A and B are shown apart, each in its own frame.
Chain A
Amino acid sequence: MFSAPVPARLLAALGLVVSVAACSSTPATTATPDTFSVWDPYPQFTAESEWVKTIEKCGTEAGVKIQRQAYDTTDLTSKVLLAAQQRTAPQVLVVDNPVVSTLVEAGVLKANSDVGLDAGQVSPNLVAAGTVEGQTYGVPIGANTLALYYNKAVLAAAGVDPASVKDWDSLNAALAKVKAAGKKGITFSAIGTEEGTFQFLPWFWGAGGKLTDLPSGKAALELWKSWLDNGYAPNSVVNNTQTTSWQEFATGEYAFAENGTWQLGNAKKAGFEYGVIAIPARTGGTAPAPTGGEFVTVPAQDNKDTEAKAGRIGSCLTAPDKVLAADTALTYISAVPSVQQQQVSAQQDLAVWVEAVKNAKGRTGDNLGTKYPKISQPLWGAVQAALTGAKAPEAALRDAQAAVK
């Protein structure tokens, strides 16, 4: 069996390699497919959900069948990049807003003007994350952001009026009272991932920090560190995701929790009275929080007709009359001011969130684009280094700035 002459063996091996390579590069179809694939990061929505029904309705209006696929949001970027490499990208992609500039850089997405999408109705601060060199890619489906949830009973027992929290000093005073009353102060997420940076940014920006100059936000890191040192915040924040941080708040032991719009549904189930205030800036006023939420985008296809139809589906999904259902299901704030008004009149307690979204800032805005991920990673590293005492806050931020390439 092993006595075959060497050339024959090589030939056989070569033949295999060629045939394997051949089947991986299937010829691209130029005809518009009957079935369009739509990828989104909402695995919580089943086929019976309002969201999936809306996608199918929009597909029917554009004259195509829809195959919808939900991924975990952290998986979606690499899945899309791989698919685009294999030329099997979905026709419509719903993707987290800071990823848009990366996908634009990769040449995966089509500009709105090419596919007939229009983000004109959307608030400019929300579109910013999808704007690269004057072109906009995709339309936000809605927005979420961060604010401070508080436990009414805990604050009342400590003698704190939530309306008194206007700036960092008054917040610190409130936390001191809560601790003196034997309860826990505040919980947040400082984990070593994008979530950690996301949670840190309102404080960083609220201290006047600029992402292009990390040490400029040192007051924010000193604030967080002082919370751990004073016992206002638990040590577990260093490893908390936003979900585990919420679970801590849900025990009813904590006065405050920094968390997002998407927890509103869980807040109602928490079993205690809660309220929400905006995150205060250092010297008062509302701190800009980072915007969360996805963009509906159209990845590049092999022909214009497919892209145009995908654009129609995208417009349909983000149309004011359709988007309200999706935003309600996601507990997002709409990206369109008129729909925001509808949401507030239907549900008064959303007013705080609408205000927070108006003040929010895209992470990849300020023309940072794909520079943002290169800043974000050293930044969460600096937060972790300072909170664990490995480095002083200012030194940690200086080292992080040096690591930004």
Chain B
Amino acid sequence: MRARLAGWAFLVPLVAYLLVCYAYPLFTNVDLSIRGYTVRSFVHGGAPLVGFANYAVVFGDPTFRTALLNTVLFTLVSLFFQYTIGLAAALFFARGFRLSATLRALFLVPWLLPLIVSASTWAWLLNSESGLVNAALKVVGLGPVNWLTSPEWSLVSVTIANIWIGIPFNLVVLYSGLQNIPREVYEASSLDGASGWQTFWHVTFPLLRPVSAITLLLGLVYTLKVFDVIWIMTKGGPSGSSTTLATWSYELGFGNMLPRFGPSAAVGNVLILIAVIAGLLYIRVQRRQELA
């Protein structure tokens, strides 16, 4: 009996933490999304249940399609470049040359900077009037680009900034993954006369697959919900051209003097759902790998 009580006692902090920090907010968010909140009922209670009305509003809004498409583009393009550049850098540093530790530490800087600093710096670099990038383009004889103020470029600009911020994370995780690949495998492949490219493609890449999968999954969840970079650089604009589901959710709930909590929560839930589906896919792929 005492052992069982002790067991419960050990379990309580975890359960309490999960309930307070996960279950309750999640429940509140679902509850918000199925009620017709006005500012009055938000303060005084008594918001009526409206079922899926908020979701209908969100799905019927022309912004939804733009935001969804932008979220997909932003996430996939970010992930692709973060992963490939991160992997290339990891392979480069894995060779262990002089000062490689110092250089690797320098590579981490984007990760260490507060997002407000890096996003503001990017916004300044890409400013159409006084930005460094346009100044550089002028030097090589190219015309200025309205990076943040034209609907064609705004999503590209925030994606570039986000890729830059995400590279260090990919570098660190993939680098430690590379360290775990046994030396003997490389020795064997070199004895078999494999070229550098063959070694990478038939040894390194397959052995790195579990690490790659988790890196991409974490990157996906992280990128889906990126908000600060976009909000600081473009506010999702101009006229919605860089709006993602995350910025749209914020805009609905807090970007206006009259908050629309219901639709805002609905968008947030759609975002959570996408992340959960990605997580389930990951688990399935992982199981199949274990069975194989």
B95 at the interface (CB under 8 A from A): no
Q: Which of B10-18, B73-81, B159-167 forms contacts with chain A?
A: B10-18
Q: Which of B39-47, B181-189, B202-210 forms contacts with chain A?
A: B39-47
B8 at the interface (CB under 8 A from A): yes
Most chain A beta-carbon contacts within 10 A, residue among B20, B241, B253, B256? B256
Residues of A within 8 A of B150 (CB): 235, 388
Tell whether, in the assembled complex, residue A193 and residue B258 are in contact, meaning their CB atoms are under 8 Å apart.
no
Q: Given that A1-B7, A16-B19, A381-B240 are contacting pairs, would A235 and B129 also be in contact in the complex, using a CB cutoff of 8 Å?
A: yes
- Docked complex Cα distance between A102 and B260 (Å): 12
Tell whether, in the assembled complex, residue A4 and residue B128 are in contact, meaning their CB atoms are under 8 Å apart.
no
The proximity string for B residues 231-259 relative to A, scoring 1 for CB distances below 8 Å and 0 otherwise, is 00011111111000000000001111111
The proximity string for A residues 7-24 relative to B, scoring 1 for CB distances below 8 Å and 0 otherwise, is 000001100110010000
Tell whether, in the assembled complex, residue A390 and residue B40 are in contact, meaning their CB atoms are under 8 Å apart.
no
Residues of A within 8 A of B8 (CB): 4, 12
Tell whether, in the assembled complex, residue B238 and residue A238 are in contact, meaning their CB atoms are under 8 Å apart.
yes
- For residue B212, give the distance in angstroms from its CB to the closest CB of chain A: 33
B24 at the interface (CB under 8 A from A): yes
Instruction: Classify chain B: how many residues form its interface, as a range.
Output: 35 or more
**Once A and B bind, how many residue pairs between them come within 8 Å at the CB atom?**
122
With beta carbons under 8 angstroms apart, the residue of B12, B237, B256 that contacts A239 is B237
B118 at the interface (CB under 8 A from A): no
Tell whether, in the assembled complex, residue B20 and residue A390 are in contact, meaning their CB atoms are under 8 Å apart.
no
Tell whether, in the assembled complex, residue B11 and residue A1 are in contact, meaning their CB atoms are under 8 Å apart.
yes
A78 at the interface (CB under 8 A from B): yes
With beta carbons under 8 angstroms apart, the residue of B42, B129, B235 that contacts A192 is B235
A374 at the interface (CB under 8 A from B): yes
- Docked complex Cα distance between A134 and B20 (Å): 44
With beta carbons under 8 angstroms apart, the residue of A105, A191, A237 that contacts B237 is A191
Residues of B within 8 A of A17 (CB): 19, 24
With beta carbons under 8 angstroms apart, the residue of A192, A239, A374, A384 that contacts B258 is A374
Q: Given that A1-B10, A106-B42, A107-B44 are contacting pairs, would A12 and B258 also be in contact in the complex, using a CB cutoff of 8 Å?
A: no
- Docked complex Cα distance between A13 and B4 (Å): 16
A230 at the interface (CB under 8 A from B): no
- For residue A363, give the distance in angstroms from its CB to the closest CB of chain B: 9
Q: Given that A235-B146, A236-B127, A381-B240 are contacting pairs, would A78 and B259 also be in contact in the complex, using a CB cutoff of 8 Å?
A: yes
Residues of B within 8 A of A78 (CB): 253-254, 259
- Docked complex Cα distance between A4 and B149 (Å): 60
Tell whether, in the assembled complex, residue B16 and residue A81 are in contact, meaning their CB atoms are under 8 Å apart.
no
Residues of B within 8 A of A248 (CB): 129-130
Question: Nearest A residue to B19 by beta-carbon distance?
Answer: A16
The proximity string for B residues 202-229 relative to A, scoring 1 for CB distances below 8 Å and 0 otherwise, is 0000000000000000000000000000
A residues 43-101 in Cβ contact with B at 8 Å: 77-78, 81, 84-85, 98-99
A153 at the interface (CB under 8 A from B): no
Tell whether, in the assembled complex, residue A390 and residue B151 are in contact, meaning their CB atoms are under 8 Å apart.
yes
Q: Given that A388-B149, A390-B239 are contacting pairs, would A105 and B40 also be in contact in the complex, using a CB cutoff of 8 Å?
A: yes
Tell whether, in the assembled complex, residue B257 and residue A194 are in contact, meaning their CB atoms are under 8 Å apart.
yes
Tell whether, in the assembled complex, residue A370 and residue B258 are in contact, meaning their CB atoms are under 8 Å apart.
yes
With beta carbons under 8 angstroms apart, the residue of B40, B151, B255, B259 that contacts A107 is B40
A316 at the interface (CB under 8 A from B): no
- Docked complex Cα distance between A108 and B43 (Å): 8
- Docked complex Cα distance between A373 and B254 (Å): 12
- Docked complex Cα distance between A238 and B15 (Å): 49
- Docked complex Cα distance between A72 and B257 (Å): 14
A330 at the interface (CB under 8 A from B): no
Most chain A beta-carbon contacts within 10 A, residue among B16, B43, B253? B43
**Sorted from nearest, which 7 A-B pairs have the closest CB atoms?**
A192-B237, A106-B39, A373-B258, A238-B149, A384-B239, A385-B239, A1-B7
